[in-house]
Structure 1
Amino acid sequence: MVDQKTPADAAASRGRGGAPAIRERLTRRKPVEELVAETQAAEGTGLQRHMGFWQLSMIGIGATLGTGIFVVLGEAVPVAGPAVILSFVLAGLTALFSALAYAEMAGMIPASGSAYSYSYATIGEFMAWVCGWCLMLTYGVSVAAVGVGWGEYINELLHLTTGLSLPQALLAGPMEGGLVNLPAAAVVLLSMFALLGGVRESSRLNAVMVVVKVAILVMFVAIAVTAVQEGNFAPFMPMGMAGVSAAGATLFFSYIGFDSVSTASEEARNPQRDLPRAIMFSMILVTAIYCLVAFAAVGAFNWTGFADGETSLAGILTKVTGTPVWAVVFAAGAVLALASVVLVVLYSQTRILYAMSRDGLIPAAFSEVDAKGTPCINTLVTSLVIAVLAALVPLGPLADATSIGTLFAFALVNVAVLVLRRTRPDLPRAFRVPGAPVTPVLGVLACAFLMFSMSLSVWLAFLAWLAVGFAVYFGYGMRRSALERV
């Protein structure tokens, strides 16, 4: 049952001047029933329900299958050696625990706020804000990071087909000795225009790009596996378990995106049935593809060759076949594949902001929608900020910052499952995490393990981001919260 307070209780919990006491304001929750009722009340005036299982699955695959395998693999192999395969397994298991938790929560609370909404219903407003703030980091920086990876493949495709390359000044920001990463900013802006055209149209475009990216990765495995040599796997773990865990923390970036399915909750025709299925299907398919690609890549090309940081999957195809033809096909497919990630993750970012705006924690303009059900101002502002980020910051710091914010948010979703299992066992669940409470606890521990595998510089950047978030919440969000007026 939802907690009920008597007038005396309410008065006792309020400070001077009738304002709620600070502790109550930080821990106030939004009941599950209210979250569900809000999404139903918004039908016809807010986001529009038109997505089925396949469209939702394409969102999950489209957001997940991207830069992690196309670009970040090359950065992880020198850290773990051939054991990078185990690093993928470690990162995948961590993501799987959280995927199970997401599946249970999405089936119960079909709200576009994803982990933010789940935290609001279980842990309280302050932790929900922290979760939402981390998701801003996750989605926003992830889009920028994928944009940087897209620019690298655009340049590689140009070089393979014409022998020319883009000037370094237009391929990197000031931190890398350039001026601005023009391709990275361009793909973000192109995705912005696609989203402004309407969700139906952009979801169809994403589905086409997902088919292309799966096809080219299958093509890579089929070609590279013919050149696999047993000697390339020895020594299998040259950096020990420390290398495996460090690479796993970096490669966790590869699994970010399956939770994008839950941000489409308010645009799903049957969210309770289709969301859990789409989350698990996309996770299983993506994990299988990642393991196959990693095996084929390190088996066909000795891991020490990745140390220069310039070995890409397209480059491996050229070395294996002796001709650039397949590399051209792969690079062209990668350009489309990474564009789909930018499109879907940018979409997810706008939906998180939509939910936070509806709750009053950020300005109301972010929850205004046009006749097509598109949050236009939200999409414009978010896209422009991310385009600037993509143009100026290199891939490595972006990927690591994205991973730590995501791991924190995922840990909170596992906590939300534990809380609701204890406080609201009566709620109908379309999907139940198997092995609970052990499985969600393992999910929290796995997220913590990977977080503490990250470098001090990443932690300092994360803590700085949280400090800014605290200032925004206490300076604006807490006083403007919709629950402040209840």
Structure 2
Amino acid sequence: MSTDTAPATGGKGLAVGTLGLAGSVVIGLASTAPVYSLVATLGWVVMAVGGQAPIAFIIAFIPMLFIAAAYQELNREVPDCGTTFTWAAKAFGPRVGWMGGWGVAVAGMVVLANLAQIGGIYFWLILGQEELAENTAVVTATGVVFIALMCWVSYRGLEIGERLQVVLLGLQYLALVLFVIYVIYRISTGQAPAEEHFSWQWFNPFAFEDYSGFIEAVLLALFIYWGWDTCLALNEETKDPKRIPGQAAIISTTILLVTYVGVTVAAMAYAGVGDEGIGLGNEANAEDVFLALKDVVMGPMAIVLVIAVMVSAVSSTQTTILPTARGTLSMATYRALPKRFKTVHPQFNTPSFSTLMMGVVASVYYVGMTFVSENILADSIASLGLAIAFYYGITGFACVWYFRSSLTSSTRNLFLRGIFPLIGAVLLTYAFVQSAIDMWDVDYGYSTIFGIGGTFVVGVGALAIGAVLMVVWSFFAEAKPYFAGESLNRDTPVLVPDEPETYPRSVDGGLS
């Protein structure tokens, strides 16, 4: 994009035609933070299901793929940057749509705090300052700086963010490829401590010994895949908004499946799943399996893996801001939020106020939780799967209901608009309910609130707060057109003007 030519803009003021397929895939992958996701999740998954970790990741991929199909189909029909918010409102009405948008915002806010913390820790580890990496105040301040920097990148425009993500994602995959190569070398030279370097039993879906552990592993795996939908939130800024974002979602999730299963098998082949030493089942290694493996596997090249973890966290910080800011922009455009949130920068064509507000809210939450209770912060991160399952599930159901009249028109529509999204939504709903039940137990997380598990209180409470805010906002005069089903309903054009003079009214208030 040249500096002397203003980009074309769409109905909401965003820069259209900025991303191609490759750029969309890069952002979809970067949003999941592949290296960091493995660091934060692999150990816990192995602790939950042992040697069945690879098949757990494959099973968790199924609802992700089915929901990606729902995203693709809905985006073909309604390429709006509000994604879940817009689609759910068109399918089920304003209140379900509002809660879907809230679910996206909650997930983004919570994960930003965690990403910032990881980025802060690894920044000082790279510099060899282990004491500072363990200093809560220093790490928190560094994390807030990272949030601010990534907000600035997002504020300045999508194109600069895309170029940055190409470099950062390349570094992540370079580190993962080197890790796998070193593992193969260690095994081939007899230097791997694992007793079993490979077993087809790792891929046996009937070998799970503990049902609760299986559900826990699947929910953890949902987190590891989460983020690919960022490329859908950028649909209005993509060259072919009805086609490319959906394709990018399918490609991204497939690449992630290969990445996660491949690296998991390599780590298990080298270290095994034991609960002692560098075994992946050792709770002492669960929070960061690569920290335990990097030196013994990669030797002097271990620093590459450390850098990749920090890069992964910082990279995802920026891409997490993107969909949330555009979601709140869309909500404000349709009067579901105060009009200030729909402010678009006249030069950079980005949702300026929404981007800055996302950074401020995430920073305040991160700092507050860190100094009030690090245990509650940890529990909020553990509850993240609830918010993810919540809004992904809503999207799946919205797809089926929105396209219900066309499901029998072709085999393609029946599966891609009906059967697959419905199965994905049902599976995610079940995961949500079962996980909420498990999280009620005081032994599930790190804190207890009101005599029940802190993870449950934080996870379900965050969604409940959204319901309260929705009710409060509905009493404001500015919100009346939205909650009356006037500013957004099934018949509303996708790219509505910033200040529409009239709204096309749906005869059934948006419930058709």
Q: Deviations over 1:313-364 (max 9, x none)?
A: 143131234x2x2210111122222211111111111011101111111111
2:220 maps to 1:250: yes
Letter in 2 for 1:413: T
Q: What are the superposed Cα offsets for residues 216-240 of structure 1, whole Å, 9 maximum, x if unpaired? A: 1122122223436453679966853
Letter matched to residue 223 of structure 1: Y
1:319-468 paired onto structure 2 within 5 Å: 319-321=296-298, 323=299, 325-371=300-346, 372-391=348-367, 392-393=369-370, 394=374, 396-423=378-405, 432=413, 434=415, 437-454=418-435, 455-456=439-440, 457=453, 458-468=455-465
User: How far apart in 1 are the matches of 2:217 and 2:122?
Assistant: 22
CA distances 1:411-466 after superposition (whole Å, capped 9, x unpaired)? 1111112112214669999x857365322221122102322342123343333223
- Residues 73 and 417, structure 2, Cα contact 8 Å, conserved in 1: no
User: What are the Cα deviations for residues 54-110 of structure 1, in whole angstroms up to 9, with x where unaligned?
Assistant: 111111111013332132223332222222222212221221111111111112111
For residue 419 of structure 1, what is the amino acid of its counterpart?
A: W
Percent identical pairs in the alignment equals 19
1:263 is the counterpart of 2:239: no
Aligned length: 434
Question: What letter matches 1:316 in structure 2?
Answer: L
Check whether the contact 2:33–2:315 (CA below 8 A) recurs between aligned residues.
Answer: no
Letter in 2 for 1:261: C
Residues 115 and 412 in structure 1, CA contact (< 8 A), matched pair in contact too: yes
The answer (yes or no) to whether the contact 2:91–2:402 under 8 Å persists in 1 is yes
- Name 2:473's counterpart in structure 1: 476
In the alignment, the residues of structure 2 paired with residue 201 and residue 127 of structure 1 have an alpha-carbon distance, to the nearest angstrom, of 34
Aligned to 1:312: 289
Deviation at 1:121, TM superposition (A): 1.1
- TM-aligned CA distance change 1:435 to 1:196, over 3 Å: closer
Structure 1 unmatched ranges of 5 or more: 1-39, 172-179
Contact 1:119 1:413 in 2 (8 A): yes
Q: Equivalent residue for 2:498?
A: none
Question: In structure 2, do the counterparts of structure 1 residues 133 and 221 end up closer, same or farther at CA, with 3 Å as the change threshold?
Answer: same
Alpha-carbon distance between aligned partners in 2 of 1:170 and 1:298, rounded to the nearest angstrom: 35
Residue 244 of structure 2: aligned partner: 274
Cα offset for 1:167?
3.9
Secondary structure at 2:383's aligned position in 1? Answer: helix
CA distance in 1, matches of 2:60, 2:180: 21
Please name the residue that 2:491 is paired with. none
Written as runs of structure 1 = structure 2, the 5 A alignment for 1:278-289 is 278-289=248-259
CA contact (8 A) 1:170 1:181 kept: yes
Residues 73, 186 of structure 1: CA spacing in aligned structure 2 closer, same or farther, 3 A cutoff? farther
Letter in 1 for 2:262: L
* 1:208 equivalenced with 2:167 (yes/no): yes
Alignment root-mean-square deviation, CA:
2.8
Conserved 8 A contact 2:104-2:388: yes
Are 2:180 and 1:221 equivalent residues in the alignment?
Answer: yes
- 1:78 is paired with a residue of what secondary structure? helix
Deviations 1:133-175 (A, max 9, x none): 111111221222222232333243234xx6654343336xxxx
> Helix, strand or coil: the match of 1:437?
helix
TM-score by length of 2: 0.78
Q: Which residue of 1 aligns with 2:97?
A: 128
Aligned to 2:296, the other structure's residue is in SS state helix
Larger mean Cα displacement after TM superposition, 394-403 or 92-101: 394-403
Matched position secondary structure for 2:335: coil
Match of 2:37 among 46, 68, 71: 68
Q: Compared with structure 1, are the counterparts of its residues 86 and 355 closer, same or farther at alpha carbon in structure 2 (3 Å cutoff)?
A: same
Q: Which amino acid aligns with 1:166?
A: A
Show the counterpart of 1:231. Answer: 196
TM-score by length of 1: 0.82
Separation (CA, whole Å) in 1 of partners of 2:410 and 2:420: 20
Amino acid at match of 1:313: F
CA contact (8 A) 1:256 1:406 kept: yes
Partner of 2:75: 106
Tell me if structure 2 keeps the 8 A contact 1:108–1:427.
Answer: no
Given residue 473 of structure 1, which amino acid in structure 2 is its aligned partner?
Answer: M
Residue pair 1:104, 1:417 contacting (<8 A) in 2 also: yes
Q: Distance in 1 between matches of 2:26 and 2:180?
A: 21
Instruction: Give SS of 2:336's match.
Output: coil
Residue 257 of structure 1 aligns to a residue in which SS? coil
Which position in structure 2 is the counterpart of 1:187? Answer: 146
CA, structure 1 residues 396+78, in 2 after alignment: closer, same or farther (shift >3 Å)?
farther
CA contact (8 A) 1:150 1:338 kept: yes
Q: Which of 61, 78, 83 matches 1:92? A: 61
- Determine if contact 2:220/2:385 at 8 Å carries over to the other structure: yes
Tell me if 1:300 matches 2:270. yes
| Pair 238,319 (structure 1): closer, same or farther in 2 beyond 3 Å | farther
SS of structure 1 residue aligned to 2:196: helix
- Cα drift, residue 184 of structure 1: 2.5
The residue identity in structure 2 corresponding to 1:464 is: G
Displacement of 1:290 in angstroms is 0.5
| One-letter identity of the residue aligned with 1:287 | L
* Whole-angstrom CA distance in 2 between matches of 1:432 and 1:468: 36
**Deviation larger for 223-232 or 435-444:** 223-232
Query: Which residue identity is paired with 1:58?
Result: V
- Summarize the Cα distance change of 1:276–1:215 in structure 2 as closer, same or farther, 3 Å threshold: same
Q: 1:406 & 1:238 partners in 2: Cα distance?
A: 24
SS state at 1:111 partner: coil
Deviations 1:359-386 (A, max 9, x none): 1111111111112112222111110110
Higher percent of residues as helix = 1
Structure 1 residues 433 and 141: alpha-carbon distance in aligned structure 2, compared to 1, 3 A threshold: farther
What is the distance in 1 between the residues matched to 2:471 and 2:135?
Answer: 42
- Residue 65 of structure 2: SS of its match in structure 1? helix
Report the 3-state secondary structure (helix = DSSP H, G, I; strand = E; otherwise coil) of the residue aligned with 1:434.
Answer: helix
Contact 2:67 2:420 in 1 (8 A): no
Structure 2, unmatched stretches of 5+, are: 1-7, 441-452, 487-502, 504-512
The one-letter amino acid paired with 1:54 is A
Spell out, residue by residue over 1:19-73, the C-alpha distance to the aligned partner (whole angstroms, 9 max, x if none). Answer: xxxxxxxxxxxxxxxxxxxxx9944844433211111111111101333213222
CA contact (8 A) 1:314 1:328 kept: no
Residue 25 of structure 1: aligned partner: none
Measure the CA separation in 1 of the matches of 2:414 and 2:230.
Answer: 19
